[in-house]
Amino acid sequence: MPGVVLAVDIGGTTVKGAVFVDGVEQAPGSTVPTFTASSGALGAVLAVLSALAGTARALGHEPTAIGVGTPGLVDRGAGMVRYAANLGWTDLPLQQLLEARFGVPTLIDHDARTAARAEMAVRPALRDFVFIPIGTGVSAAVVVAGKTVTGARGQAGELGHIPTVPNGRPCSCGQFGCLEAYASAGAVLARYIAGGGSAESAADVAGLVGHDGLADDVWSDAVDGLATGIITLTATLDPEEIVIGGGLGAAGPLLLDPLRAKVGSLLRWRDPPAISASRAGPRAGLLGAALLGSAARSSSRHANQESP
């Protein structure tokens, strides 16, 4: 029986999903807005999974597992999203809800750790690194000796909520001056518009860098905030590499070149770590979610074999 995994990557702007059969992504996938006038983030997740289940059956397969990467403070062992400010979730038993709804084993994890799984899959020699996805928010996955670090409460890697500007901009978490309030794609767009600019996305703002003074200022603040976060991680963890992913990570040299220069200028006492773009690319979250689903399926099969 083939392994048919429904993979979901939850973002603050969209929820993406795809069907994987024996590790191979099938078309078409499904993408819906995270929030609509009539539905919140949970409704979007259920809608994507329902569409994916239909796709799997149209291909002649029954789903065998679900894997989900989600923002927020995630207790993977309990299958709970303890808190996700951008999604409006508190103590949501997401794993149990999905298992009850779709009848297949499910695993959830933090979206950054989920994407880091994909990065390790495409770069198995990479063992000590920090994966930083930059999208609607900013987070991080810490990987040491090939293992993700979750922390005592599953909250390791909340890089976006390191205060980088004293008494700075308000953040969705309730603090002020957080990295996420300056360097996330959402913040880049919001700050550009608040300054009088006109753009539809952070990618639009990035396209104006070098030609628009306001875009230059907003982008520079984002780079400075990220650099501050990276030198903090570097001093604490000594990673081999910093891997930048997510939507804003697709800016490539426009982001990476000034970021490398800024980190190098701040880390005067040691060599900086390598800073690179994700090789798993924009589908890292979905690939990682598929790997989670495969792990859920394997665990379920093993448990069934051991039961009397």
Q: How far apart are CA 36 and CA 32, in angstroms?
A: 9
Q: How far apart are CA 105 and CA 298, in angstroms?
A: 9
Q: pLDDT-derived band of residue 193, with 50, 70 and 90 as boundaries?
A: very high
What Å distances lie between residue 24 and 32, 74, 237, 281, CA to CA? 22, 27, 34, 16
Q: pLDDT-derived band of residue 307, with 50, 70 and 90 as boundaries?
A: very low
104, 121 Cβ separation under 8 angstroms: no
CA dihedral 74, 75, 80, 83 (to 10 degrees): -40
Per residue in 246-278, pLDDT (tens digit) is 988 889 999 999 999 999 999 988 999 999 999
Mean pLDDT to the nearest integer, 58-80:
94
State yes or no: pLDDT of 191 exceeds 90: yes
Residue closest to 133 by CA, chosen among 118, 112, 117, 154: 112
Q: How far apart are CA 25 and CA 6, in angstroms?
A: 10
Portion of the chain with pLDDT greater than 90, in percent: 83
Q: How far apart are CA 194 and CA 232, in angstroms?
A: 29
pLDDT for the residue numbered 103 = 97
Q: How far apart are CA 209 and CA 207, in angstroms?
A: 6
Each domain of the chain, given as residue ranges in start order, spans 4-114+282-306, 124-278
Per residue in 211-233, pLDDT (tens digit) is 999 999 999 999 999 999 999 99
What Å distances lie between residue 152 and 69, 75, 102, 130, CA to CA? 20, 10, 31, 18
Mean per-residue pLDDT over the chain, rounded: 93
State yes or no: pLDDT of 209 exceeds 50: yes
Q: How far apart are CA 158 and CA 259, in angstroms?
A: 20
Fold designation for 124-278: Nucleotidyltransferase; domain 5 (3.30.420)
CATH 3.20.20.80 fits 4-114+282-306, yes or no: no
Residue closest to 291 by CA, chosen among 114, 31, 111: 114
State yes or no: pLDDT of 242 exceeds 70: yes
CA atoms within 13 A on the CB side of 174: 3
The b-or-e profile of 202-214 (16+ CB within 10 A means b, else e) is beebbebbeebeb
Q: What are the strands, taking DSSP E only, across the chain?
A: 4-10, 14-21, 24-33, 65-70, 73-75, 80-84, 89-92, 106-110, 129-133, 141-144, 147-149, 241-245, 274-277
Same fold, 4-114+282-306 and 124-278: yes
Per residue in 92-113, pLDDT (tens digit) is 999 999 999 999 999 999 999 9
pLDDT for the residue numbered 153 = 82
Record the pTM.
0.90
Angle at 280 between CA 267 and CA 28, to 5 degrees: 150
Tell me the β-bridge partners of 127: none
State yes or no: pLDDT of 138 exceeds 60: yes
Sort strands 141-144 and 129-133 into parallel, antiparallel or unpaired: antiparallel
CA atoms within 13 A on the CB side of 116: 28
Per residue in 142-187, pLDDT (tens digit) is 999 999 999 888 888 999 999 999 999 999 889 999 999 999 999 9
Q: How far apart are CA 179 and CA 158, in angstroms?
A: 10
What Å distances lie between residue 239 and 125, 164, 233, 255, 299, CA to CA? 14, 20, 8, 20, 31
Q: pLDDT-derived band of residue 301, with 50, 70 and 90 as boundaries?
A: low
